[in-house]
Amino acid sequence: MELFLHFLKDFFFAFFVAIGFASLFNTPKKVLLIAGLLGSLGHSLKFLLHEGIGLGLITSTLSGTVLIGLLGIVLAHRVHTPPVVFTMPACITMIPGLYAYRTMLGFIKLTDESGLSRTTQDLENTVHYFVLTASLLFTLAIGISIGVLLFRQDSVKMLKFVSKKNKS
């Protein structure tokens, strides 16, 4: 029950974060809801895989961004809007801000002139957070790109579940 409540909280906050960033990017009002839903679905999938199942953070993040990228391509054709308009604000919900912050604090501590509080553990932690932050950022780019690469030559409009013309 506690995991479900955390899931709902995660879904709720990711929804409004995505809508907030979509508003900052002047996303058309007709697709603000799509940006919010994509952001909350992607971030919630990441949360469920990482916290619920225990999958690694990078794999969970990749799964969430692939979901955003694929749904973004499909929904872009439905609302006649480029997918980047709502996939980018949706992905911002998964930017590793905490790890980037810890990386910067580690670099500041390592370059502190007094050197009194430096330990070998500080260097190890800083490198760990730097590699994790970079890996997560690369994962975001790769996950979003997968949808674009899959449908690069064939339009998603040709799929039977998207196109209404194929019913006849």
- The string of pLDDT tens digits covering residues 114-162 is 766 777 888 899 999 999 999 999 999 999 999 888 876 555 555 555 5
| Alpha carbon of residue 31 to chain centroid | 18
Q: How far apart are CA 68 and CA 15, in angstroms?
A: 13
Whether residue 80 contacts residue 156, with contact meaning beta carbons closer than 8 Å, is answered with no
Quick: pLDDT tens for 48-84: 999 989 999 999 999 999 999 999 998 988 888 888 8
CA dist., res. 48 & res. 44, Å (int): 6
pLDDT of residue 115: 61
Query: pLDDT-based confidence at 89, cuts 50/70/90?
Result: very high
Question: Distance between CA 136 and CA 139 in Å, rounded?
Answer: 5
**Burial (0-12, 13-18, 19+ Cβ within 10 Å), 145:** middle
- Which residue is listed with tokens 């906050």? 13
Q: What is the pTM of this model?
A: 0.82
How far are the Cα atoms of 66, 80, 99, 139, 151 from residue 131, in angstroms, in the given order? 21, 38, 9, 12, 31
Query: Residue 141 corresponds to which tokens in the numbers above?
Result: 């780019």
Residues with Cβ within 8 Å of residue 139, at least 6 apart in sequence: 58, 61, 62, 65
Q: Within a 10 A sphere around the Cβ of 132, how many other Cβ atoms?
A: 18
> Is-contact 64 43, C-beta < 8 A?
yes
Higher pLDDT, 15 or 152: 15
